[in-house]
Structure 1
């Protein structure tokens, strides 16, 4: 009897294996950028009903540091598009993978440390954000808009250096995206230059139709000194409240540090930006 049971188990095992399917949340692609002169990789997630309803068009979420946060943001988006109250409309998510974060995501070349000081002999690095912005909005967006049913609404999400890039794009090229979500942006970069320039960048500009969320890790650090929180607080309290017709949200996360704030920040940002 035992031998018969064992035989049946082995007989049915191939049928069981054939019934298994992979769980897929996206596909990998690559694009050669003539602006950056290199191959760039990106991942794409489509809404669950994308193939079922060919009449619907979707906003696009451009997620920087896609290699770190793609899986989490897909999960967050599925939660907010299915729960009662639906905070977020079904969206196409494009995770942009990194090659050189310092080069691509910083607006100026700088040799300054987080404390604002410059060590003798240190060479400036970074400053390529304008080129990366062109790749993102002229090259990659062109491919996405021609390949998928997009509706012209675009959102940008970034953390740390990517948050700095998100804020810089918001301030200098506001028209490029509709919604901006920046988590713990590295405003210490180049001795806080972007924070210092922000007042002049918003002066006389109408932000009607634009939305911005900034999440900040406010847990105190004892292992180092930097000017980050001072620059962020100056932007939040003194500058952005003056932005005309801007939908602006922010939140402080006192229990999170710079490394842990990204996921709770993105979650809260989407909830506030798209909640009723």
Structure 2
């Protein structure tokens, strides 16, 4: 990896009183989204709407400047340089020129870091189960899509909020077509969510948040993969920022339902 990543770990409530292993939820953009997810998880588990999870957040340190944060996440989340205006949630045009090529190209290395390096290292210290989920927002949603389509066995469950899926010259749609040519099933649980207001925001409409999410959802449904469980939501009146809490709320309840008797 080109720089160190900060890792946050939240153990489930029963961890200290049990010998059990737990499903693991991997959270990108940890310095932004980790507190939100942990607070939501604590409440939803208290009211018995989600299962207990171990949550591991990875991302740039909280003290990173906005410019550094944007540069790092764009590099980590996109498998190749993007073209067009600066992407939402941190992607930016390179400051050295007026070019419209933004950073990228590190997604494959970041995915390998999570799955091949960090996961086995933490498994020696923590009781991690074999069930792994991945959460991403905006550019992080692109990374969720990249993980699903380039290395689908790496995770079991995927949550993408306002995913920017059409970046990198539609690379994810090419990956989807290539996967469909050689596979007749996609065993995964996937939750996609975005805000209705992202359609009317000119900037977000230009980067195709809702359009790319809808297009990918349609393609995956038309494949009729028997083991794919796909849920797609468009939340009325919600923006690029506010849709995240809605997606996490319903996504966690859908993919990790509480199974014990209420």
TM-score (norm 2): 0.81
Structure 1 residue 206 displacement after superposition: 4.7
Structure 1 residue 235 displacement after superposition: 1.1
Matched ranges for 1:186-225 at <5 A: 186-207=164-185, 209-219=187-197, 220-224=199-203, 225=205
User: 1:211-265 deviations in whole A, cap 9, x for unaligned?
Assistant: 1111122213244351513222211123344151201111111211112211111
1:108 corresponds to which of 56, 63, 80: 80
1:45 corresponds to which of 2, 6, 10: 10
Does the CA-based 8 Å contact 2:11-2:55 persist in structure 1?
Answer: yes
Query: SS at 2:193's partner residue?
Result: strand
Aligned CA distance change for structure 1 residues 243 and 201 (closer, same or farther; 3 Å) = farther
Cα root mean square deviation, aligned: 2.4
Does the CA-based 8 Å contact 1:202-1:243 persist in structure 2?
Answer: no
Aligned length: 236
Counterpart in the other structure of 2:90? none
More helix per residue: 2
Query: SS at 2:74's partner residue?
Result: helix
Structure 1 residue 193 displacement after superposition: 3.2
Counterpart in the other structure of 1:183? 161
User: 2: CA distance between counterparts of 1:268 and 1:60?
Assistant: 18
Aligned CA distance change for structure 1 residues 202 and 257 (closer, same or farther; 3 Å) = farther
Does the CA-based 8 Å contact 1:205-1:243 persist in structure 2?
Answer: no
Structure 1 residue 207 displacement after superposition: 4.2
Query: SS at 2:239's partner residue?
Result: coil
Matched ranges for 1:50-61 at <5 A: 50-53=15-18, 55-61=19-25
Matched, 1:166 2:144: yes
Unpaired runs of 5+ in structure 2? Answer: 61-68, 88-92
Structure 1 residue 114 displacement after superposition: 6.8
Unpaired runs of 5+ in structure 1? Answer: 1-35
Aligned CA distance change for structure 1 residues 203 and 88 (closer, same or farther; 3 Å) = farther
User: 1:181-211 deviations in whole A, cap 9, x for unaligned?
Assistant: 1111112313433235423323342546421
Query: SS at 1:48's partner residue?
Result: coil
Aligned CA distance change for structure 1 residues 142 and 258 (closer, same or farther; 3 Å) = same
Choose 203-212 or 227-236, whichever is displaced more: 203-212
Does the CA-based 8 Å contact 1:112-1:190 persist in structure 2?
Answer: no
User: 1: CA distance between counterparts of 2:256 and 2:164?
Assistant: 25
Structure 1 residue 167 displacement after superposition: 0.8
TM-score (norm 1): 0.77
